Structure 1
Amino acid sequence: MVERSVALFGTSQPVPPRLTLTAGSLTATLENGALRWIRHGDIEVLRAIAWQVRDRNWDTPEPLVTNLVVQQQKTGFRVTFDALCRSADGELPWLAEIIGEADGTLRFTGTARPRVDFLTNRTGFVILHPLAGVAGRPVEITHTNGETRQARFPELIDPEQCFLDIRSLAHEAAPGLWATSRMEGDTWEMEDHRNWLDASFKTYVRPLALPFPYKLAGGSEATQSVTLKFSGRPSAPSMANGPRPVAITYADSQARMPVLGLRVGTETLAERMRAADLGRRTGIGLVNARFDPRADHDVQRLGHLGELAQALGAELALELVVPCRRDPAHELRDFAEMLSQSGVQPESIAVAVAEDRLRLVPGPPPPDLALLGVVYGAARNVFPQMTIGGGTFGFFAELNRNWPPFGLIDYITHIAASVVHAADDRTMMENLESLPAMARTVRAFAGAMPYRLIALSLGLDSGPYGEPAPNPDDTRRTLVRRDPRQRGLFAAAWALGALAEAAHNGIAAVTPAALAGDLGIVECGDRLSLHPIYHVVRGLARAAGRDVAGTVSSDPARVRAIACRNAAGRIVLWLANLTDEVQRVTLPEGGNLRRLDEETFAAAGLAADFLDRQKATRIGREIEIGAYGIALIEMGE
């Protein structure tokens, strides 16, 4: 029997313990030294208050918490602990005190005490507001000079900082209930975290306009605090009576299943060809591959990519980095000559300028954005018959800050990864909430132009800020390519949720994984084996272009759903449990059930057609799905 943690998460690393704290109507969860899911009754008021240390590469080391003391009483609580964050630049010790009072007031104080000089891009408190009940809603901002003004949280994703020079934020968490978060000890500002797939608005310490990295002097002391207070009362009392089953219902829909692709990842050429037959059996439509002249990519690489696409029975979607070190037209003609020599005929070429030619931070663009027009105009001249994609090979933030010239391209694209700012299990799943806002924002500035995601995955294949962080210990870490959960049921559930959002929001093509390697669906060990995500990719890739039935989950934070018709015309419903607990689900009708879960994990790793061969179980209108499990139901009699 496979160890449960390995089946779920691909690693034996334990899940951090969680402790629920209560003070009057307020509850919060203490996890890894951070307060998470801060609620007033049933209402999520803040997603997190956390003291974070970011190193010079923006990696966020987890704190080592010691001397934890928790005093929970009927009227409130007090928590103290010591913490230590280690980065490549050294160690930063800090200590914390958290107090919850009977009226729901919450105060979190942190004090950094570096023993020697410590270099950091950002150290201090981060406050996360959730999306539900917040996006597009009013907020009152108090600035550091005491002045207040009225504003709204962004509805569409804001490419700049939402608010600057913040001392406190007050928002109506529920009708009649106002929550005020006050920050002391520094100056805060807010950014729209959805730019990086994070499902929150982030208020963070130290303005980006100040230089970074900066030094915390050895022997110094820096104290900050965050206080949350409530006023008024919610107009309706809590009606919660324990978790109810998640109800799946049908709704009208005009959506279609996107074309699915696989990336050429970190695997060797030998591994790619070794896994090619299993990749071909998924039925994917695209092979996504990067061509970067700065990395000495050449004609031979193009030939290998063409051979792989042919072996997979898919079309090649090339991603061309234009360095812009010379006239872009000359650089594009050089690439066109290599492409001609290779004999490869790609389905499309997505063109993007090198990262240092993009606006990576808020504020006025450092390069002239007319450069983008030059690059895309040259691409259209050099490849007049080719489908040309545009946008960025970075995150949505880079697309949002650097709109391509839409009249010169045929589709718009970017990447998305779930490990950018946090790597805990629950945050990774919550990040799926950002995908609809991404699609709405693209539609707002690009209209009906086809929209592709050339990478939508747990780990980070590549990004605009440098190479992904190493992960030699195979643990949950930010900004890594090698996330151990890629090998477990977790990645299968996450991918199903992501593909459901992509389909329901009209995204034309999605690449949720690589063929092999760190982001792969196939493990190339002594013998080939399959990760659970393989079966999700295979099942949904075969449905590309088919109508997607409108499915509605009563609690998408627990269970996501997608349904389409199979070759026989029957509705096939896919369900993913996004939690580490068993979930009960009610269905619109009964059907024939197949499962991908802890019990079937080992068998699923051995056969590409595992779900096809599994004997179906006849079910009624209610089922249970295990932790991070997948349920596949052919509906009807």
Structure 2
Amino acid sequence: MVTEPSRAIKLFGTDEAVEVPRVLKVGPLTAEFEAGNLRYIKFHGIEMIRAISYIVRDKNWGTYNPKLSNLKIEENTEEFRVTFEAEAGDQSQIFRYSAVITGNSQGTLRFEGTGTSVTDFLTNRTGFVVLHPIEGVAGAPARVEHVDGRIVDTDFPALIDPIQPMMNLRAITHEFSKGLSVRCLMEGDTFEMEDQRNWTDASYKTYVRPLALPWPYTIPKGETLVQAVSLSVSGALNKQNGVSSSSIIKLEIGEATSSVPPLGTALDPDDLDTAEAHHAELKGIGIDYVICHYDTRRGHNRSTLERQVELARSLGKEVWLEAIITRVDGWEDEVTSLGVDVAALGRPFSVIMLSPASDMKCTLPGSVWPPCPPADALFIHARKTFGSVKLAGGMFSYFTELNRKRPPVDYIDLVSFTTSALVHAGDDRSVTESLEAMPHIARSVTAISGMRPWVVGPSAIGMRDNPYGAEVAKNPHDIRQAMNRNDPRQRGLIAAAFDVGYFSHMAYGGAKAIALGGFVGPFGVLPTKTMWRQPFYDEEGGVYPVYHIRKAIAEMKGAKLRILKSSRPRDIMGISAETLHGQVTLIANLTGSIQKIDLGNAFSEAKLIRLNAEHFEHAARDTLYFEKTQTMLSNICELDAYETIKIIS
């Protein structure tokens, strides 16, 4: 007997319990208390600070999930007060801290943290982190107070800053709504800011302890850290700038722009056998190009390439190569040898992307770059070796590394990079929040690439590599956490909605090609044998919701792209194109709650199909599910949590 999967399995791929945030409220001040931290700090319903968190990190930049105890929350008409104790660490080290959070109706909030190391504690960062939102803040003025007492008027970066835009910080003041400003005071150590849009976080992050100091560092056993973050509001609310009371999100089809870029995906040699076993389902997606990964450190050779090319040709229209150059001394010989293998295979690649192995790891601002083949010389030699094939340069890691080490655009045809939604946080809202940063990434990479077109991917929610530590996070129990490779949400409706939002933002932002995840494995579209549980799919098989999204996107390739305007793109996002089958529109709910949308008059005589929790099992068992549309009865629609709809008009 088949047991219906839980709603959590349908949405997130896991039944892992998630703490429901507690909303703290006093007068016009609200904040969400979640896992010992504060989020969405608002005044009169307007966000002024995205988050204040007390974090404890390990030596690989992984963030420990603290265990809270003695939690007490008191609220009255004058103030709220939260106190708790917490413990973070693992089998080898422990750090304990206590916290006091207070807030009042004038908009004043204070978060104090006092921590003591139970053991010697090796960490890259321990203490407070403050997140400023990017909406309405990017490029806006800020007043900075430095630790030496200097006060400087500056701006939040408009384009994404590769290094710290603000340093030696004690306080930052900015206007969060016309007439209202908030001062954020940080005490107990020196703080500095980084532009988290680099990692697709929708925030500017101000963190404790400058990166110029050694890391990882040890907090000696018994040492105590005392820190605090305080917010104070000044000014008066201009009521015309308040939050809209409308609960309906309006969508509008705008002007035609360019064409829908091709959709690609990755093919790792480790996945060859599994992908071959599911050839029929994978071919049904209609992928435009397949990126073959090649790394001699993993034992890859000409035979590896040959198998990849054979399978890739049968699954996609084009074959691309992503090759890591492992040598510093003798790199020319390595490129030449690869060229011999590529020639022997009949030069099957339409695009060849190259990256030195040393660029697979992050080099922090101010640090010494490791030995590496000269970028100009690498691509000059590659041009001689590979002939007229398109060469792509950039980073196989993330936009951050591309931004900090710009490619030699004079010697390449394409600029490339990837992203992950799990670099800094592992919760569901942070995953979809990351989509807010995509237009900023698109503008910044356009500035970097100049006249050169740019491509992105293979990208996914999870991390395929960790540039910031020894490895990605181990996840044998398949939980939500930062730096996951295998992330349960890849199997859920949230990943389908994420892919719609991601592809839409990148396509509208000017990407010439977009690659999402892989065919199989942690970033794939269907279940295969794994070391971790795959609830429902282990028993039933089938395909993930993302299968239908990628198939629908692939069918749009080359069609005229139309702007899809959303009154709340953080909550509802989509893409629309004029195809041979009519106007095809994908609309995704990027939130965990029901959203009502108004489609206006843009979709007369339309047909619709829903990918949601109600139809989850049907969609899993039928690879053609998303083609079975029904007549749309109303231009007012409700979308369930992380639901995606396809409309043909």
- Shorter chain as denominator, the TM-score bin is over 0.9
Please say which of residues 76-85 and 523-532 is displaced more in the overlay. Answer: 523-532
The residue type paired with residue 390 of structure 1 is: G
Cα shift at 1:239: 4.7
Cα shift at 1:242: 4.7
Equivalent position to 1:192, from 195, 201, 210 = 195
Please say which of residues 96-105 and 306-315 is displaced more in the overlay. Answer: 306-315
2:359–2:395 CA contact under 8 A, matched in 1: no
Equivalent position to 2:639, from 607, 625, 631 = 625
SS of corresponding position for 1:255 = strand
The residue type paired with residue 486 of structure 2 is: R
1:557 and 2:560 are equivalent in the alignment: no
Please say which of residues 439-448 and 10-19 is displaced more in the overlay. Answer: 439-448
Equivalent position to 2:131, from 128, 132, 140 = 128
Q: Match of 1:487?
A: 491
Q: CA deviation digits over 1:209-256, x for unaligned, max 9?
A: 000111111122111100000111122356557551110012223132
SS of corresponding position for 1:263 = strand
Alignment TM-score, normalising by the size of structure 1: 0.96
2:36–2:68 CA contact under 8 A, matched in 1: yes
Q: CA deviation digits over 1:454-485, x for unaligned, max 9?
A: 22210011242343211111111111111100
Cα shift at 1:369: 8.2
Distance, in Å, in 1 between the alignment partners of 2:502 and 2:584 is: 17
Residue correspondence of structure 1 range 261-300 to structure 2 within 5 A = 261-265=264-268, 268-300=271-303
Residue 407 to residue 369, structure 1, CA distance change in 2 (3 Å): farther
Q: Match of 1:606?
A: 621
2:144–2:169 CA contact under 8 A, matched in 1: yes
Distance, in Å, in 2 between the alignment partners of 1:481 and 1:356 is: 20
Structure 1 residue ranges without an equivalent (≥5) = none
Residue 241 to residue 450, structure 1, CA distance change in 2 (3 Å): closer
Q: Match of 1:251?
A: 254
Distance, in Å, in 2 between the alignment partners of 1:320 and 1:370 is: 14
Please say which of residues 344-353 and 172-181 is displaced more in the overlay. Answer: 344-353
2:10–2:492 CA contact under 8 A, matched in 1: yes
Cα shift at 1:583: 0.7
2:458–2:515 CA contact under 8 A, matched in 1: yes
Cα shift at 1:368: 7.6
Q: Match of 1:573?
A: 585
Residue correspondence of structure 1 range 305-344 to structure 2 within 5 A = 305-343=308-346
1:582 and 2:585 are equivalent in the alignment: no
Cα shift at 1:294: 2.1
Please say which of residues 377-386 and 45-54 is displaced more in the overlay. Answer: 377-386
Q: Match of 1:594?
A: 609
Cα shift at 1:401: 1.0
Distance, in Å, in 2 between the alignment partners of 1:89 and 1:57 is: 14
Residue 541 to residue 454, structure 1, CA distance change in 2 (3 Å): same
Distance, in Å, in 1 between the alignment partners of 2:387 and 2:471 is: 33
Distance, in Å, in 2 between the alignment partners of 1:401 and 1:365 is: 12
Please say which of residues 318-327 and 354-363 is displaced more in the overlay. Answer: 354-363
Cα shift at 1:265: 4.3
Equivalent position to 2:474, from 460, 464, 470 = 470
1:593–1:619 CA contact under 8 A, matched in 2: no
Equivalent position to 1:77, from 72, 77, 80 = 80
1:511 and 2:515 are equivalent in the alignment: yes
2:142–2:155 CA contact under 8 A, matched in 1: yes
Cα shift at 1:86: 2.2
Please identify runs of 4+ aligned residues in structure 1 that moved more than 4 A: 237-243, 356-359, 367-370, 525-528
Cα shift at 1:20: 0.5
Cα shift at 1:53: 1.0
Please say which of residues 253-262 and 468-477 is displaced more in the overlay. Answer: 253-262
Cα shift at 1:24: 2.6
The residue type paired with residue 597 of structure 2 is: V
Distance, in Å, in 1 between the alignment partners of 2:244 and 2:116 is: 45
Cα shift at 1:344: 5.5
Residue 498 to residue 605, structure 1, CA distance change in 2 (3 Å): same
Q: CA deviation digits over 1:515-544, x for unaligned, max 9?
A: 011111111257752000110000011111
Distance, in Å, in 1 between the alignment partners of 2:139 and 2:557 is: 34
Alignment TM-score, normalising by the size of structure 2: 0.95
Please say which of residues 18-27 and 263-272 is displaced more in the overlay. Answer: 263-272
2:520–2:528 CA contact under 8 A, matched in 1: yes
Q: Match of 1:63?
A: 66
Q: Match of 1:109?
A: 112
Residue 106 to residue 237, structure 1, CA distance change in 2 (3 Å): farther
Residue 88 to residue 291, structure 1, CA distance change in 2 (3 Å): farther
Residue 416 to residue 531, structure 1, CA distance change in 2 (3 Å): same
1:6 and 2:9 are equivalent in the alignment: yes
SS of corresponding position for 1:254 = strand
Cα shift at 1:453: 0.8
Cα shift at 1:104: 1.2
Identical counterparts, % of pairs: 35
Q: CA deviation digits over 1:534-587, x for unaligned, max 9?
A: 10000011111211111100001111121112323x211111001111110000
1:300–1:342 CA contact under 8 A, matched in 2: no
SS of corresponding position for 2:61 = coil
Q: CA deviation digits over 1:169-207, x for unaligned, max 9?
A: 001111111100000001000000011111100000110
Equivalent position to 1:31, from 21, 34, 39 = 34
Equivalent position to 1:459, from 442, 459, 462 = 462
Residue correspondence of structure 1 range 299-448 to structure 2 within 5 A = 299-343=302-346, 345-355=348-358, 360-363=363-366, 366=369, 371-448=374-451
Residue 240 to residue 371, structure 1, CA distance change in 2 (3 Å): closer
Cα shift at 1:87: 3.7
2:133–2:204 CA contact under 8 A, matched in 1: yes
Cα shift at 1:335: 1.0
The residue type paired with residue 91 of structure 1 is: I
2:362–2:467 CA contact under 8 A, matched in 1: no
1:548 and 2:552 are equivalent in the alignment: no
1:54–1:120 CA contact under 8 A, matched in 2: yes
What is the RMSD of the two structures over their aligned residues, measured on CA atoms? 1.7
Residue 403 to residue 238, structure 1, CA distance change in 2 (3 Å): closer
The residue type paired with residue 489 of structure 1 is: L
SS of corresponding position for 1:392 = strand
Q: Match of 1:155?
A: 158
Distance, in Å, in 1 between the alignment partners of 2:414 and 2:347 is: 21
2:358–2:372 CA contact under 8 A, matched in 1: no
Distance, in Å, in 2 between the alignment partners of 1:602 and 1:3 is: 11
1:55–1:89 CA contact under 8 A, matched in 2: no
2:44–2:242 CA contact under 8 A, matched in 1: no
Structure 2 residue ranges without an equivalent (≥5) = 530-537
SS of corresponding position for 2:588 = strand
Distance, in Å, in 1 between the alignment partners of 2:551 and 2:390 is: 26
1:49–1:126 CA contact under 8 A, matched in 2: yes
Equivalent position to 1:260, from 258, 263, 286 = 263
Residue 615 to residue 550, structure 1, CA distance change in 2 (3 Å): closer
Q: CA deviation digits over 1:481-532, x for unaligned, max 9?
A: 1110000000000110001101111111111121011111111257752000
Distance, in Å, in 2 between the alignment partners of 1:257 and 1:329 is: 37
